């Protein structure tokens, strides 16, 4: 099985922390962009006609910002040209304040069955600081439109002066709205974003403070029966994101649209980050790729290890040995010995101990040497 990612690079305004390909000032290009996207969908589907896909994910940008007819058109093109499993998981990212009942009903009419809402925080003052366009009330109005649906909510930790109690109340708001899945991300101040100035001026929480909040969040969610299954993702049993699980299992996926990345047949490629450049390539029947690499040997091994160890279930040693025709325990005996106090090795699986999963980078990097 494999996944399909579709990038929608339009939004109403740019969040202060956003480093993704999103362009609030280029909304005049929405129609031409989707016309080209539909053509790329058809072309890539022909290239992978022998593959079966089990998930579709609309990310951005803000997919819910554009007129629903464009999203519906993309879903129909995917269903027409790609081989999909019966009742695939189809997710769309939503920003509260950009949807109404008609738009939600339109999404559902074409089979969109998972809704990822960018809450970020339940405090209006923090939302304003982040340049989010919605309020906590907007979030609840949005979830009311989605009552009974499969809802996920994003929450940021590490905001200026943020406390664990504030994050808990944001979680409570998400759960009140019916969220069965939570993605809890630590704020990353990327160079060139407005919030990077806050980082340079020391106004953001320290790494240790963020780690303490994260530990508190994990414990709080566990008490509510919402378990961590990947370092930043928590869900009620059965509501894990199938699309994202495919990434962490180093499964294959096709990325469509501006800035989208793909990984198929051991090749990874990325599309242009510029709308005009992307459109021009499609119009002239060229691939819009700006990079392409074959991932093999030690690079492939490390990817497999790194992605699997981000998850609560860890890595299947049997699958590793089969995929790379190696004896993992022999091949990686040295890093296993060096990091043994952080690891659990049992039932032919390797895991990072739960208390160390949030700080897994130093542990995982040992397997790169």
Q: Is residue 181 part of a domain?
A: yes
Please state the pTM of the whole predicted model.
Answer: 0.96
- What is the distance of C-alpha 173 from the center of its chain? 21
Contact 350, 319 (CB under 8 A): no
- Give the residues of the chain that fall short of pLDDT 70: 14, 16, 18-19, 369
Confidence at residue 49, expressed as pLDDT on a 0 to 100 scale: 95
Q: Is residue 233 part of a domain?
A: yes
Q: Is residue 274 part of a domain?
A: no
Give the pLDDT confidence of 325-335 residue by residue, as tens digits. Answer: 999 999 999 99
Answer yes or no: do 301 and 241 share one domain.
Answer: no
Answer yes or no: do 207 and 103 share one domain.
Answer: yes
Residue 171 burial class via C-beta count within 10 angstroms: exposed 0-12, middle 13-18, buried 19 and up: buried
Query: What is the residue-wise DSSP string for 283-331?
Result: HTT---EEEEEE--HHHHHHHHHHHHTTBSS-EEHHHHHHHHTS-HHHH
Tokens 């993704």 belong to: 20
Contact 54, 88 (CB under 8 A): yes
Domain count, the chain: 2
User: Which residues are CB-neighbours of 239 under 8 A, at least 6 positions away?
Assistant: 150, 152, 180, 181
Phi, psi for residue 9 in degrees, rounded to 5: -90, 25
Please say which residue of 206, 225, 247 terminates a domain.
247
Q: Is residue 193 part of a domain?
A: yes
Answer yes or no: do 228 and 362 share one domain.
Answer: no
Answer yes or no: do 170 and 302 share one domain.
Answer: no
| For residue 94, cis peptide bond before it (omega within 30 degrees of 0) | no
Contact 116, 92 (CB under 8 A): yes
Query: Could you list the residue range(s) of the whole structural domain that residue 48 is in?
Result: 2-247
Confidence at residue 202, expressed as pLDDT on a 0 to 100 scale: 73
Confidence at residue 14, expressed as pLDDT on a 0 to 100 scale: 67
Neighbours of 268 (CB within 10 A): 17
Answer yes or no: do 226 and 139 share one domain.
Answer: yes
Helix-strand-coil split of the chain, %, nearest 5? 45, 25, 35
Identify the CATH number of the domain in which residue 32 sits.
3.20.20.70
For residue 252, give the nearest of 241, 269, 265 by alpha carbon. 265
Confidence at residue 21, expressed as pLDDT on a 0 to 100 scale: 73
Answer yes or no: do 160 and 54 share one domain.
Answer: yes
Identify the CATH number of the domain in which residue 316 sits.
1.10.10.920
Answer yes or no: do 93 and 205 share one domain.
Answer: yes
Question: Which DSSP symbol is given to 341?
Answer: G
From residue 74, give the alpha-carbon distance in Å to each of 43, 68, 115, 165, 365.
Answer: 13, 10, 16, 41, 39
d(CA 98, CA 121): 17
């Amino acid at each position: 099985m494999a996944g399909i990612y579709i990038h929608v690079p339009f939004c109403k305004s740019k969040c202060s922390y956003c480093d993704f390909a999103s362009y609030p000032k280029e909304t005049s290009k929405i129609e031409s962009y989707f016309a080209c996207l539909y053509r790329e969908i058809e072309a890539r589907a022909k290239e992978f006609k022998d593959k079966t896909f089990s998930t579709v994910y609309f990310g951005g940008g803000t997919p819910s910002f554009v007129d629903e007819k464009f999203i519906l058109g993309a879903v129909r093109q995917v269903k027409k040209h790609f081989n999909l499993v019966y009742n695939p998981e189809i997710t769309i990212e939503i920003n509260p304040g950009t949807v109404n009942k008609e738009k939600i009903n339109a999404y559902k009419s074409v089979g969109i069955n998972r809704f990822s809402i960018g809450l970020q925080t339940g405090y209006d003052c923090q939302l304003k600081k982040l340049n989010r366009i919605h309020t906590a009330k907007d979030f609840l109005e949005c979830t009311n439109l989605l009552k009974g649906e499969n809802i996920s909510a994003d929450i940021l930790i590490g905001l200026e002066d943020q406390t664990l109690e504030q994050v808990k109340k944001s979680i409570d708001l998400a759960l009140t709205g019916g969220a069965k899945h939570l993605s809890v991300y630590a704020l990353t101040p990327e160079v060139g974003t407005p919030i990077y100035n806050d980082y340079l001026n020391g106004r953001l929480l320290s790494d240790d403070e963020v780690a303490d909040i994260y530990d508190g969040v994990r414990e709080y969610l566990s008490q509510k029966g919402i378990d961590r299954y990947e370092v930043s993702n928590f869900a009620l049993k059965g509501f894990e994101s199938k699309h994202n699980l495919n990434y962490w299992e180093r499964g294959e996926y096709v990325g469509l649209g501006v800035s989208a990345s793909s990984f198929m047949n051991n090749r990874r490629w990325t599309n242009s980050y510029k709308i005009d450049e992307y459109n021009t390539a499609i119009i002239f029947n060229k691939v819009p790729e700006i990079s392409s690499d074959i991932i093999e040997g030690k690079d492939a091994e490390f990817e497999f290890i790194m992605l699997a160890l981000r998850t609560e279930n860890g890595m299947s040693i049997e699958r590793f040995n089969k995929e790379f025709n190696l004896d993992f325990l022999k091949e990686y005996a040295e890093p296993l010995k060096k990091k043994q106090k952080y690891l659990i090795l049992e039932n032919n699986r390797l895991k990072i101990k739960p208390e160390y999963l949030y700080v897994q980078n130093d542990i995982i990097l040992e397997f790169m040497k």
